[in-house]
């Protein structure tokens, strides 16, 4: 009798290990070589699996590719939402807290493996897969930008910022935080921790020069918390 399968119950066990290993390797290879440049034997070798196993799991090269993009989109979204949940709603030190948030965003969502891979695949193959593209756009930017904007709106409402359009502010925040990393990103490189911190610091400072609530009195941010509450 098979009624005692574990409650979670993904069928076998080594089976899933192979599957994960294939996904890993395929992401790496597709990203490095582009869809057309990648070949199944490379992926099989990198995954430590026979070519046939890949065909057993995924059918063909294109289905495998689609599975990779879906998987990366999901994982990246999860990471982004996790990071958004660390947004400083009640900042002690507005500048420091926003810098730290910007650094987390860049490091954990843009520079990490999944972020780099997804970005590259979208850039490289986005035009050839309109449906996949539409799906990513809805699930990714379509959901994350409003979430970030909502956090900035809250911060403004609490009296920390002087913002008219939270959507615009959210995009500008992100753009400023990564302003000095664009060339590196363009080439698929990974900036050092120090470069990330530099760019985030400069970016947040400029952001606050533009949007920090201006007080008549001197020491601004600390008191504005009271004003907002």
The residues of the shown chain that bind DNA, judged by CB under 7 A, are 2, 5, 11-15, 18, 38-41, 48-53, 55-57, 59-62
Residue whose token pair is 């502010």:
169
CB of 182 to a second copy, least distance (A): 7
User: In the bound complex, what is the minimum distance in angstroms from residue 127's beta carbon to a second copy?
Assistant: 5
Count Cα atoms within 13 angstroms, Cβ side, for 124: 20
Q: Does residue 121 contact residue 69 with C-beta atoms inside 8 Å? A: yes
Instruction: From 7-15, 22-30, 55-63, 185-193, give the range in contact with a second copy by CB under 8 A.
Output: 185-193
Give the one entry of a second copy, DNA, none that residue 53 binds, where binding means its C-beta sits below a cut-off of 5 to 8 angstroms depending on kind. Answer: DNA
Site mask for a second copy (CB under 8 A), range 154-183, x = bound: -----------x--x--xx-xxx-xxx-xx
The interface region with a second copy, picked from 90-98, 105-113, 121-129, 152-160 by CB under 8 A, is 121-129
Name which of a second copy, DNA, none residue 172 binds, using a CB cut-off of 5 to 8 Å depending on partner kind: a second copy
Three-state SS at 63: helix
Contacting a second copy (CB under 8 A), which of 15, 34, 48, 143? 34
33: left (phi over 0), alpha (psi -120 to 50) or beta: alpha
SS3 159: coil
d(CA 157, CA 179): 27
Helix extents (H) in the chain: 14-37, 40-47, 51-58, 61-84, 94-105, 113-125, 130-139, 141-157, 166-177, 182-186, 193-211, 220-228
Binding site for a second copy (CB under 8 A): 32-37, 119-120, 122-124, 126-127, 133, 137, 141, 165, 168, 171-172, 174-176, 178-180, 182-183, 186-188, 202-203, 206-207, 209-211
């Amino acid at each position: 009798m098979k009624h005692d399968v574990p409650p979670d119950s993904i069928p076998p066990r080594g089976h899933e290990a192979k599957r994960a290993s294939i996904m890993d390797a395929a992401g790496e290879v597709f990203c490095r070589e582009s869809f057309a440049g990648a070949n199944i034997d490379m992926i099989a070798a990198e995954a430590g699996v026979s070519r046939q196993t890949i065909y057993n799991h995924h059918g063909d090269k294109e289905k495998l590719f689609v599975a990779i993009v879906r998987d990366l989109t999901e994982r990246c979204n999860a990471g982004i939402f996790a990071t958004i949940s660390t947004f400083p709603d009640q900042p002690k030190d507005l500048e420091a807290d926003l810098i730290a948030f910007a650094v987390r965003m860049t490091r954990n969502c843009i520079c990490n493996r999944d972020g780099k891979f997804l970005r590259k695949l979208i850039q490289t193959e986005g035009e050839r897969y309109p449906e996949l593209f539409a799906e990513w756009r809805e699930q990714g930017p379509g959901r994350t930008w409003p979430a970030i904007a909502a956090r900035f709106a809250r911060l403004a409402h609490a009296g920390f910022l002087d913002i008219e359009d939270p959507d615009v502010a959210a995009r500008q925040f992100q753009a400023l935080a990564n302003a000095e990393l664009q060339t590196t990103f363009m080439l698929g490189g990974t900036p050092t921790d120090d470069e990330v911190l530099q760019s985030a610091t400069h970016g947040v400072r400029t952001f606050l020069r533009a949007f920090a609530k201006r007080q008549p009195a001197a020491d601004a941010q600390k008191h504005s918390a009271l004003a907002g509450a």
